Copies of this chain bind each other. A is one copy, B any other.
Amino acid sequence: MPAQLTREPLTRSVEDYLKAIYRLEGAGQPASTSDIAELLELSPPSVSGMIRRLSEQGLLEHVPYRGVLLTAGGRRVAIRMVRRHRLIEAYLVGFLGYTWDTVHDEAERLEHAVSDVLIERMALALGNPRFDPHGDPIPDRDGAIDELVYTPLAEIPAGETAEIRRVDTSQPERLRYLEHSGLTPGIPVTVIQHQPFRGPLTILAGGHEQVIGRELAEQLLCVRPDAK
Interface residues of A in 75-126 (CB under 8 A from B): 92, 95-98, 102, 105-106, 109-110, 112-115, 117-118, 121-122, 125
Interface residues on A, range: 10 to 19
Nearest Cβ in chain B — how far from A87, in angstroms? 12
Nearest Cβ in chain B — how far from A4, in angstroms? 22
Chain A interface SS verdict (over half): helix
Nearest Cβ in chain B — how far from A97, in angstroms? 6
**Are B97 and A121 within 8 A (Cβ)?**
yes
Using Cβ atoms and an 8 Å threshold, which residues of chain B touch A118? Answer: 92, 96, 106
Sorted nearest first, the 3 A-B pairs with minimum C-beta distance are A113-B113, A96-B121, A109-B113
Interface residues of A in 14-36 (CB under 8 A from B): none
